Amino acid sequence: MPEAFRDDYPINPYRVDPIYARMTLPRDSNDNRFGLPSVQDLFGELSVTSQFKVTLYLGDTYPTAKSDSDINAWLVSCGVLGSNLFNGNNANLNSLRYEFMCNETSLPGSSFSMFEETGSRQGMVEKFPNRREFPEISMTFYVDAEYGIIRLFEEWLNFINPLYNQYGRATKGTSRGGVERFNDWEFFRFRYPNTYKRPLAVTKFERDTHMSPMKDVVRTPSMLTYYFVNAFPTQLTALPVTYEGSTITKTTVTFNYDRYVILNHQGTGSAEFKQPQPTNNSATLPDWAQSNSEPSLFATPSYSWGDTSDLLF
């Protein structure tokens, strides 16, 4: 906690913030300094690793696109998404089913590749960044008894690098897999990247979401989403099977991407959930949303390139 009462605040190079925390009731110092921070304030809400959600964004373009040019339509033609599997003709529900099967992933890091400048300053070696590097991200999924999660990523890889024969490449998949594709003279070619690259996201949240009996959210958590731009799978790891002991089958998929963006979801904490006020004056909100609304927390933020009016330097 900064010692704001000092004459040299905040440029004192010897300044040391308090290294103690109070364990009992709040108490202030007798010389107009701030009270000691509370242990509850410092460590009361720590993040846990077991609360996260993966979003694949699959099933959101079918049936507006053709299976030969869109990964979503291709997966539907293969029976991985859509009417051929479980949930009628709602492809988004199938995608959601696969997303909840992810049991392990990681929030990515980022680093700069550096170059050295030697001799420009006497006796010094200076380092400067010249490129930002984004590492690959891996996700481990439970395998369902219908092997849908395996087929999902196998068909995604097949779409990226389809097999050709004398008639060209197949324009759609089949629920039976790669039947009649056994000729030894068939070959592979890659598609253009804009057909198979997709957004991908990992959202980290905590256990602080509460619902009222009327199903109105009364507390929303703060969340952090890593949104990956132009992601696609690069590797489906080997899947070991053995008779020595039965365990839940898992498969790991490695994704590459161009870059990621961090999205901050501002939660209400202990405050009540409030809807933004409608722009139409004739529209009405329910009673629980009319008072003390907080549109800044839930309205879509606006941003324009080059606008620095809301930045602090």
Determine the pLDDT at residue 176. 81
Determine the pLDDT at residue 22. 67
Determine the pLDDT at residue 110. 87
Q: Tell me which range, 115-124, 198-207, 211-220, 226-235, is most confidently predicted by mean pLDDT.
A: 226-235
Determine the pLDDT at residue 60. 66
Instruction: Give domain status of residue 305, yes or no.
Output: no
pLDDT greater than 60 at residue 91: no
pLDDT greater than 70 at residue 262: yes
- Segment 171-198 mean pLDDT: 83
- Which residue did the predictor score with more confidence, 303 or 147? 147
pLDDT greater than 60 at residue 168: yes
Instruction: Give domain status of residue 30, yes or no.
Output: no
Instruction: Give domain status of residue 122, yes or no.
Output: no
Whether this model's pTM surpasses 0.75 = no
Domains held by the chain: number: 1
Instruction: Give domain status of residue 130, yes or no.
Output: no
In percent, how much of the chain has pLDDT > 90?
22
Q: 226-248: per-residue pLDDT in tens?
A: 999 999 999 999 888 889 888 99
- Which residue did the predictor score with more confidence, 88 or 267? 267
Instruction: Give domain status of residue 40, yes or no.
Output: no
Instruction: Give domain status of residue 154, yes or no.
Output: yes
According to the 3-state scheme, what is the secondary structure of the chain?
Answer: CCCCCCCCCCCCCCCCCCCCCECCCCCCCCCCCCCCCEHHHHHCCCCCCCCEEEECCCCCCCCCCCCCCCHHHHHHHCCCCHHHCCCCCCHHHHHHHHHCCEEECCCCCCEEEEEEEECCCCCCEEEEEEEEECCCEEEEEECCCCCHHHHHHHHHHHHHCCEEECCEECCCCCCCCCCCCCCCCCEECCCCHHHHCEEEEEEECCCCCEECCCCCEEECCCEEEEEEEEEEEEEECCCCCCCCCCCCCEEEEEEECCEEEEEEECCCCCCCCCCCCCCCCCCCCCHHHHCCCCHHHHCCCCCCCCCCCCCCC
Q: 290-301: per-residue pLDDT in tens?
A: 444 333 333 444
Instruction: Give domain status of residue 302, yes or no.
Output: no
Domain that holds residue 155: 52-106+135-272
- Which residue did the predictor score with more confidence, 26 or 282? 26
- Which residue did the predictor score with more confidence, 217 or 285? 217
What mean pLDDT is reported for the chain?
Answer: 74
- Segment 19-37 mean pLDDT: 59
- Segment 21-39 mean pLDDT: 59
**Band (261; pLDDT cuts 50, 70, 90):** very high
Instruction: Give domain status of residue 21, yes or no.
Output: no
